[in-house]
Structure 1
């Protein structure tokens, strides 16, 4: 049986992976797919791909594009979630900061440099016409629990994370959300180490076929909203809203979208150069 390591954030977006694993669908195809939670998000997964800890990652589009350009020996094989990620902008509940204007020049909590929380702080700054050199400051906090501590203790001032994931923290009176910042592109892609693609393309096709069948039918799974609400401790109406806004994908990210991501990252000085489409993408024939 072929052992394959895959990583992702332990969030509702990835429930389809849990369901297919629970059903034994990969083992039925002689693949021992092992899921690894990465609470540190995209930066932690990029590092794990580089170091060979995982073969596959379900990872933020902008983060993995940056890291491939920076030398990560990985390719994007497919879009996983087609819709943008809706990033909530949060402060501590008792913070004096009330608006987006108030957080200009203050410290953004980020899971690590190169993470989504880091890169989207630049997008938010650009959207609000801030000076990218003087109006952005960062405090590394590792993960969501670190952000709770960092904002509560005053080590950082605001934190950007997917708004439905953080809504229970807002409901509990720990965070206060002062705004939203949708990513200007599809949010999650499936990225695979190049050496794994080269040596295991048939197994990779099998894995993608299995997950794509489930995501294509995901919204029609009986009581899926209740399953998500229970597993991720979210309010049912929040889950139903999230499901109405979210679309999965079963196809490779297109060249126009890749160019858009690179244009914006280059404009923000997050990447040093643009690269060719096929330097980032591997087409599964």
Structure 2
């Protein structure tokens, strides 16, 4: 049986992977798919792909595009979630900051450089007309627990993370959310190491077929809203809102979208150049 290692964030977006693994669907195809949680997100998964700790990752689109351009020998083989990610902008509950404008020049908590929380801090700063050189500062906090600690003790001032994931922390009074910043593109893609693609095309096609069968019918699974709410400790109305605005994809990200993302990252000096669509993607 072929072992394949895959990484992703332990969030509601990835429940379809858990369900297909629980059902033993990959084993039926003679594939031992091993899921690894990466609570600290995209930067950690980019590193794991480079180090060959994982073969594939369900990863933020802008993060993996940046890392492939920086030399990560991987390719995007499919969009996973078509809709934008809704990033909440959070401060500690007792923070003096009330508006996004109040955050100008303060310190953003980020999981690591090159992560989604890092890149989105740039997008938010640009959206609000800040001076990117002088009004954007960072504190590395690794993961959500690090953000709770950093915001509470004041080593960082605000933290950007997917708003439904952090909603329980807003509900219990740990954080206040003072704004939102949606990504202007599809949020999650499936990226695979190039050497793995070359030698395992059929296994890869089988894995994608299984996950796509589940995501295409995900919203029709009986009581899926309750399953998500229970597993991720979310309020049912929040889960229902999230399901209402989230669409999965079963196809490769298109050239126009990839160009749009690169132009944005290049304008923010996050990537040094705009590369070809073929350098970033692989069509199975």
Q: TM-score range by the shorter chain?
A: over 0.9
Aligned residue number for residue 237 of structure 1: 237
Aligned residue number for residue 164 of structure 2: 164
Deviation at 1:206, TM superposition (A): 0.1
> Aligned to 1:260, what secondary structure does the other structure show?
helix
Deviation at 1:27, TM superposition (A): 0.4
Deviation at 1:30, TM superposition (A): 0.3
Distance 1:24 1:205 in 2: 17
> Aligned to 2:189, what secondary structure does the other structure show?
strand
Distance 1:40 1:166 in 2: 14
Normalised to the residue count of structure 2, the TM-score between the two structures is: 1.00
Residues 125-156 of structure 1, C-alpha deviations (whole Å, 9 max, x = no match): 00001000001000000000000000001000
Deviation at 1:51, TM superposition (A): 0.2
Aligned residue number for residue 95 of structure 1: 95
Distance 2:157 2:197 in 1: 42
Aligned residue number for residue 59 of structure 1: 59
Aligned residue number for residue 152 of structure 2: 152
Distance 1:127 1:215 in 2: 32
Aligned residue number for residue 120 of structure 2: 120
Deviation at 1:203, TM superposition (A): 0.1
Query: Runs ≥4 in structure 1, deviation > 4 angstroms?
Result: none
Structure 1 gaps, min length 5: none
Distance 1:107 1:201 in 2: 44
Deviation at 1:239, TM superposition (A): 0.1
Is 1:227 the counterpart of 2:227 in the alignment? Answer: yes
> Aligned to 2:129, what secondary structure does the other structure show?
coil
* Aligned pairs for 1:184-203 within 5 A: 184-203=184-203
Deviation at 1:50, TM superposition (A): 0.3
Distance 1:136 1:57 in 2: 29
**May I ask how many residue pairs the two structures share in their alignment?**
284
Distance 2:72 2:259 in 1: 19
Aligned residue number for residue 255 of structure 1: 255
> Aligned to 1:166, what secondary structure does the other structure show?
helix
Distance 2:50 2:108 in 1: 26
Distance 1:98 1:271 in 2: 32
Distance 1:101 1:238 in 2: 27
Distance 1:61 1:135 in 2: 25
Distance 2:4 2:240 in 1: 33
Aligned residue number for residue 212 of structure 2: 212
Deviation at 1:201, TM superposition (A): 0.4
> Aligned to 1:155, what secondary structure does the other structure show?
coil
Residues 48-90 of structure 1, C-alpha deviations (whole Å, 9 max, x = no match): 0000000000000000000000000000000000000000000
